[in-house]
Amino acid sequence: MRFSAALLCVLLLSACTPRVILPARTPHLALDGPPPDVVILSVSGHCSPPCAAPYANGDDLSSRGTIDRVADAIAAAGYQVQVSGYAAGAFDTLESEWVFPPQRGWVALQNDFQEMRRRWPELGRRPRIVMLGHSQGVAWLHHLARLNPEVPIALQIDLDSICAAWQADHARFFRQLTPQQAGSPSIATACDPIWIDGRPYRGKNIVWPNVERSLEIQSKRLYAPAPKVAGSLSIFCGP
């Protein structure tokens, strides 16, 4: 009986402990300095269920070192790299009992991207842009590329992209966005079907013309190949 009570207390305490999101070790995006050679923008995905998305979503690609490994590969070729990671959510910064510290989302990503465009007129050439998305994070980044067709995207990396629970997770926050924050078309429609040659595709599966190279990696399920709008490669890493 005592063991069961102690175990219950441990479980309850752990359930109330926020998940700590660690920063990337690669230099962070410095908008007040000269442009680096490459900027990697990453958006992580839906938190591991069961969880309270989007409140428990965090910048896991930074915390788990994924963005650093991509940055290391680029830096090894002699390029100066800066990174900036975001959580999947239609907010600027969200304080939550589930994750610490407060996480930056879509509005912060939009603001940073527009500030890069203002400060660095050659954005897309110097610095070159790499987008790294996982799970739901892929949809946010594909939509960002769609909203900025004048900016070349050197590489878009999609890891296990999904649109599951898009509206269920984010509808409340979508309604709070201003038209400028939402973009046109709105980020709320990022997972709506888009018809191409008589077939429906979700935005996460479309490589927009300003994307030079796209790499899609599916580790757990079969995939529907993206229309070859630009250079793209899909890889299935099944069991």
Task: Please give the DSSP secondary-structure letter assigned to residue 132.
Answer: E
Is residue 65 domain-resident? yes
Whether the per-residue pLDDT at 148 is higher than 50: the answer is yes
Lowest-pLDDT choice from 8-22, 43-57, 127-141, 170-184: 8-22
- Tally of CB atoms within 10 A around 126: 14
Would you place residue 8 in the very low, low, confident or very high pLDDT band (cuts 50, 70, 90)?
very low
Q: Directed axis angle between helix 137-147 and helix 106-119, to 10°?
A: 40
Would you place residue 12 in the very low, low, confident or very high pLDDT band (cuts 50, 70, 90)?
very low
SS3 state at 110: helix
Q: What are the φ/ψ torsions at residue 41 (nearest 5 degrees)?
A: -105, 125
Is residue 204 domain-resident? yes
Is residue 4 domain-resident? no
Would you place residue 119 in the very low, low, confident or very high pLDDT band (cuts 50, 70, 90)?
very high
Is residue 15 domain-resident? no
Is residue 130 domain-resident? yes
Is residue 21 domain-resident? no
Per-residue pLDDT, 2: 52
Would you place residue 161 in the very low, low, confident or very high pLDDT band (cuts 50, 70, 90)?
very high
Per-residue pLDDT, 16: 53
SS3 state at 197: coil
Question: Mean pLDDT over residues 160-178, rounded?
Answer: 96
CA 193 to chain centre: 20
Hey, what are 93's tokens?
A: 């910064």
- The fraction of the chain above a pLDDT of 70, given in percent, is 85
- Tally of CB atoms within 10 A around 156: 27
State how far the Cα of 156 lies from the Cα of 42, in Å rounded to an integer.
Answer: 10
Question: Mean pLDDT over residues 168-176, rounded?
Answer: 97
Per-residue pLDDT, 11: 35
Is residue 35 domain-resident? yes
Residue-averaged pLDDT of the chain: 89
Question: Mean pLDDT over residues 170-197, rounded?
Answer: 96
Domain that holds residue 178: 27-236
Per-residue pLDDT, 218: 87
* CATH number, position 167: 3.40.50
Per-residue pLDDT reduced to its tens digit, 50-93: 899 999 999 999 999 999 999 999 999 999 999 999 999 999 99
Per-residue pLDDT, 200: 94
Is residue 90 domain-resident? yes
- Tally of CB atoms within 10 A around 233: 13
Query: What's the number of domains the chain is made of?
Result: 1
Whether the per-residue pLDDT at 235 is higher than 80: the answer is no
